[in-house]
Amino acid sequence: MKIPEHLTLSELQHLLHAVDESLGVSSHLELFNWLQQGVRPFIPHDIVIAAWGDFSLGLVRYDLVSALPGLRTDDLDEGVLHPFVSDLFVRWQRSSLTPYAVVSSHGFNTHYRSHHELIEKLRVMPSALVHGIKDQRGRHDCLYIFLGPSELGLDRPRTLLRYLLPYVDAAFRQVAHLPEQYLPPVGGAATLDLHETALPMPDPDDTDEFSLSAREHDIMEWVRAGKTNQEIGMILDISAFTVKNHIQRIFKKLNVVNRAQAVSKMGATKNSGKR
């Protein structure tokens, strides 16, 4: 992407310095300082919300960076925040995945209605500037919401956000998440906890004729729905590697060699049980 136009030499130097500094961010404090000193002169804001994951499944994690009291990642209620952010995500999709702003003299609004304290704090911001990145390899979306003064609705911040977003995204990715923020790993023993590298132990409540556990039944329901190991892992909050191990155990119990045979055999059993 070409360098944004209408920047003075001093602004251009500041912008390039901010880009360079983004590569050294490694903590929440450094992220906050970089956003304040490097990004805020170009994209004025009081709050930044980062949301990443699979919005279609509702498997989304959040990070919030702000100097305002009571607005930290630790203060978030993700269940309350998700419909609010999802509404902005849908608008971003309808904007052809380009930056868009919502501006109002009385605070911006969304189709989502809630009087929760957290939402009210966000909604009174005069404007929101929204842009995101689609991760085609990981099949995740990353949405960034800048909340602050009405200047966010001007053409200049929108143009500069298109240029700066890859560096904002990289800076957030370089900061370790809180333990509860981690999405299930994509797979591979190197990314797993030690207890996940071994085949899972069977659950004690095996009840059907194939001795499938409750967890294995859950997995088979998603296999029948056509979900991949990674998708099943995200839904059940386990790793894709663990899902693979469960499926291998299921194949052994059913005496089959692939998913189609497993689905067919489970279906035949259900049908025979209805007679």
User: What is the tens place of the pLDDT at every residue in 144-176?
Assistant: 999 999 999 899 999 999 999 999 999 999 988
pLDDT, averaged across the chain: 79
Which residues fall within 8 angstroms of residue 111, CB to CB, at 6 or more apart?
87
Of 179, 176, 147, the residue nearest 35 (C-alpha): 147
Give the pLDDT mean for 220-239.
86
User: Which string of DSSP letters, residue by residue, matches 52-105?
Assistant: EEETTTTEEEEEEEESSTT-SGGG--HHHHHHHHHHHHHHHHHTTTS-EEEE-T
**Which one is predicted more confidently, 275 or 132?**
132
Average pLDDT for 73-93: 80
Which of 120, 244, 237, 118 shows the shortest CA–CA distance to 181? 237
Highest mean pLDDT among 40-49, 169-178, 193-202, 251-260: 40-49
What is the C-alpha to C-alpha distance for residues 269 and 264, in angstroms, rounded to an integer?
A: 9
Q: Which pLDDT belongs to residue 82? A: 83
Q: Give 142 or 61, the one with higher predicted confidence.
A: 142
Give CA angle at 36 (33, 38), nearest 5°: 90
* pLDDT number for residue 190: 35
pTM: 0.63
| pLDDT average, residue stretch 29-56 | 92
Domains in the chain: ranges and CATH: 9-179 (3.30.450.80), 189-270 (1.10.10.10)
